[in-house]
Structure 1
Amino acid sequence: MTTKATLLAVTIDCADPKKLAEFYHAVTGLPVTYAEDDYAAVGDGTTSIYFGRVPDREPVPWPSSAKQFHLDFRVPDVDKAVEEYVGLGATKPDFQPGVTGEGVGWVVLLDPEGHAFCVCPEAS
């Protein structure tokens, strides 16, 4: 039998860990649990996002098959959340695969360092 692992955290490479931790703190409400120049974290003891400094990291263009991951967040009001997150420094790219003829399913945003994340409606 395979030994089962428990996910500890997701670590995101970035140029400014403290700045990105503050951004995701504002988006998620998770407290900043560590903040240094080379490493920072937000989390609540069960869910954590870590940020590691990689000074020469280049953002992957959106859309791109080179994208390696993205985060998904549920919110009660997608339009309001998008407006707020853009106000915090996110950007909204033109290509939006979650928008259909039936309306918005989800919205793709890019955080201040260009990592994609999706803003998803609450499950109905």
Structure 2
Amino acid sequence: MIRKTHVIIDCPDTTSLARFYADLLGGEIGDTDSEWITVTTPTVRLGFQRVEDYRAPEWPGQQIPQQLHLDFEVDDFQAEGDRAVGLGARHLEDHLGDDGTGFVVYLDPAGHPFCLVSG
């Protein structure tokens, strides 16, 4: 049987990116060293792996493919988007319908895309 364990995210600085996601998701930092840190939340476990010569993906994938992105469901785009930016994210683009549903794309501090998503 295969079970999900972690989503692993490559980055140049494990400590700062793990802190960003722990704060964003209300998670706890677990295993720590300069090469590997984990963050556990009620819904997902994330692993952060230090990569020498890290290059951030592009959204949408152009010269450097995006590799993966994370989606987080939210009730309030504005409040959660403002909080993400306050923690160090960068707003990239909106994909919202007239009814206010859709998704908003952000980049985390290491340049990985993630989306805040609603209905």
Question: Same fold by TM (over 0.5)?
Answer: yes
Which residue of structure 2 lines up, in the alignment, with residue 109 of structure 1? 106
Alignment-derived partner of residue 118 in structure 1: 115
Q: Please state which structure has a larger fraction of its residues in strand.
A: 2
Residue 35 of structure 1 aligns to which amino acid in structure 2?
Answer: T
Distance 1:110 1:52, change over 3 A: same
Residue 72 of structure 1 corresponds to: 71
CA RMSD of aligned residues (A): 1.8
Structure-2-length-normalised TM-score = 0.88
- The correspondence for 2:40, drawn from 24, 35, 43, is 43
The number of equivalent residue pairs is 117
Match for 2:16: what amino acid?
K
Post-superposition CA distance 1:25-63 (Å, at most 9, x none) = 011111111222111110158731000000211012222
Percent sequence identity over aligned pairs? 35
Gaps of at least 5 residues in structure 1 are none
Question: What whole-Å deviation, never above 9, does each CA across 1:55-83 have from its counterpart, x for those lacking one?
Answer: 21101222225111110111221111001
- Give a deviation string over 1:7-30, Cα, whole Å, max 9, x none: 111110000011111000011111
CA distance in 2, matches of 1:45, 1:84: 19
2:82 aligned partner: 83
Bigger Cα displacement from structure 2, 101-110 vs 4-13: 101-110
Give, as a single letter, the amino acid of the residue that structure 2 aligns with 1:70. H
> Which structure has the bigger radius of gyration?
1
Mind listing any 5+ residue stretches in structure 2 that lack a counterpart? Answer: none
Preserved contact between residue 8 and residue 46 of structure 1 (Cα < 8 Å): no
